[in-house]
Amino acid sequence: MSEAEAKQIERMKSLLATQRDAFRHERHRPLDLRKRDLARIAALCRNNSDAICDAISRDFGNRAKQESVIGEIAFVIQDADHTAKHLSRWAKSRTVSTPMTLMPGKSTIRREPKGVVGIVSPWNYPFQLAMAPLVAALGAGCRAMIKPSELTPATADLMKRLIGEAFEEDHVCVISGGPAVGEAFSKLKFDHLFYTGSTQVGRLVAMAAAENLVPVTLELGGKSPAIVTPGYPQLSAAKSIGWGKFFNAGQTCVAPDYVMVPNGEERALGEAIIKIAEHQFPESSSDDAYTAIVSDRHYERLTGMIEEARAGGAEILQAKHDAQAAQAARKIPPTVVLNPPADSKLMTEEIFGPLLPVIGYSEIDAATNYVADREHPLALYVYSTDKEMASRILDQSQSGGVGINTNLLHLSVPDLPFGGIGASGQGSYHGEAGFLTFTHERAVFATGKWHPSRLLAPPYGKFYETVSKKQMS
């Protein structure tokens, strides 16, 4: 660990203590101030959209501005506005019924902020995946420390400046640094830790948080399948799946990771997807609308996947491109891989790039069994004109979320909880689900000065017998 990293770790420990002290003095931030906090986030996005897009593009080598606007900035604005609009209702205490045996008394659930929370954000959507959890935390009345990915330093530096201009450090702050700082961050004694990233690192984060019994939300990934059922219009499937897969060059946690189609239709669907991609990105190697791969290491990993599949006998379909220019720009053209080997990395690891395996199935049960035999994915996409068949596939599968005849868009619905299950994550956020993630539902039972329960104390008599019989009946 370098001296600079050691100083940064000491600084973030000091900031945590400062935020804890500030929270003690304001345990219940008034709703009007929370709404003001959310308005600051929305204004920060609106007033700095060009700078945010430019920073993200520098980090990627090229990120399509349109994708940054839609997938990052507008998303956060919508989330902040939606939270502010519904906050009063979400935060309201509510009375619940009290059993007759405990009357007279009143039972209430108070929704209170958990305290100081940590947010660890990834590189693939470096702005949105830091700010959307922050929106939920601020709506809940918490204070927050954010640790962005070191792979997107320009975005991290910009967020640090913008957050610093909008909030005092005892309320929200951004911590920069590499893996050593990130590891120390995940070991801090937060009141809640929110992590978005890979399943492998998620396990380490959960273990680190467990040392202090810090509750965690893990937004992970997994191989999200798309199942195209018999008779579904091929062109419609190709347009939808291709858009979801090649948005952000496939560097999206809920991008379709592989497609299952009826046996014999693999090539036709693959060719249709490539044809559409060539229309959308006439020259992917130089088109600013087509995003680059974030790092040399990730680029080499993806190209290695292609070559492994090719060596295993799979057929590779790629959009037209200038190979030399693509390599120089760190761009991989839209790629479809027909029936890659089952043990290849394309089929055993989350791809996180513009590579789309297409595999055949004999019948729907074979497709659902294939999905069920593997770790639960973050998303499942079903393309079917038969509602009963779509419902059957959902009944026979498990996933964090579902898209029917579409993909990606379920995470943009503010009132749908977004999160994984099993290896794809635990916990959820967006809308009220996000508010509740950073909220403690405190149980309160109140009685008058005297309560009949005191008659239940030893020596036990007839009142005890009456009450116990009533509760056991």
Q: Which residues are part of the catalytic machinery?
A: 219, 253
Query: What is the rounded CA–CA span in Å between residue 384 and residue 237?
Result: 9
Residue 401: how many other CB atoms lie within 10 Å:
23
Q: ω into residue 452 within 30 of 0, thus cis?
A: no
Query: What is the rounded CA–CA span in Å between residue 432 and residue 157?
Result: 30
Which uninterrupted H or E stretch holds 437? helix 431-437
Residue 32 identity: D
- Whether the CB-CB separation of 128 and 418 falls below 8 Å is answered with no
Region class of 115: left (phi > 0), else alpha (psi between -120 and 50), else beta:
left
Which residue has 């680059």 as its token pair? 292
Burial class (CB in 10 A: 0-12, 13-18, 19+), 25: exposed
Look at residues 196, 191, 218, 221 and name the one whose alpha carbon lies nearest to residue 206: 218
Which residue has 């519904």 as its token pair? 86
Please give the structure tokens belonging to residue 424: 């794809």
List all residues 6 or more positions away from 413 whose beta carbon is below 8 Å from its beta carbon: 430
Q: ω into residue 459 within 30 of 0, thus cis?
A: yes
> What residue spans of 331-422 are helical by DSSP H?
345-348, 364-372, 387-395
CA distances, 194 to each of 15, 117, 185, 315, 341 (Å): 18, 8, 11, 40, 36
Please count the CA atoms within 13 angstroms of the CA of 173 that sit on its side-chain side: 19
Query: What is the rounded CA–CA span in Å between residue 142 and residue 441?
Result: 14
